[in-house]
Amino acid sequence: MSQLDQTQSLPLKAIHLPAEPGIWPLPWGYWALLAFVIFALVTVVVGLRMHKQKRRAKLAAIQLLKYESDSLTPSAANEILRQAALSYFPRQDIAKLTGNEWLNFLDSQLAAPRFTTHSELWMNTLYRAEKCEPETQLQLIEDCFYWLHNALPPKRQFKNWNKS
């Protein structure tokens, strides 16, 4: 008997291939990637919310300055600055500042001084009943805009400004 006859006489069944592996359950690498993506999304959303919350007082002060810019006096602009500063800095430190101490504080939050260089103008316009010249008024209000844009929220290096 030949070998061919012998294999034909064996009771062999047809070969059936197993089913292809399905997508479920996911391998551990996919689970890890999914967890990382969810963590990254949650981190980004929380970070954006914190950033928005941090800037809320700054944006409100800027909006208030813009809204009332035509009828705003330097004294009113200074009050808006004080309210914005109270939102970011400790109340017990900021509330007691007046005059040159207040102007020094404002300059301490900026890279270059803008308020102490105009301290005489500030002192004359803040405590006088009559209005000042429009150019001076515009310059002082522009200093307030500059401070709000560049000093708030406080930079890490300036947070403890009164701790010397």
Average pLDDT, the chain: 84
Q: How many angstroms separate the Cα of 71 from the Cα of each of 63, 97, 137? A: 14, 26, 11
As a whole number, mean pLDDT of residues 13-34 equals 88
Question: 40: which 2 tokens?
Answer: 């990254």
> What pLDDT band is residue 164 in, cutting at 50, 70 and 90?
very low
Higher pLDDT among residues 130 and 79, named by residue: 79
Spatial contact of 132 and 120, defined as CB atoms under 8 Å apart: no
Which region among 66-70, 81-85, 97-101 has the lowest average model confidence (pLDDT)? 66-70
- What's the full length of the chain, in residues? 164
Question: 93: which 2 tokens?
Answer: 């430190």
- Confidence (pLDDT) at 99: 86
Nearest of 47, 62, 81, 73 to residue 149 by alpha carbon: 62
Which region among 26-40, 73-87, 129-143 has the lowest average model confidence (pLDDT)? 129-143
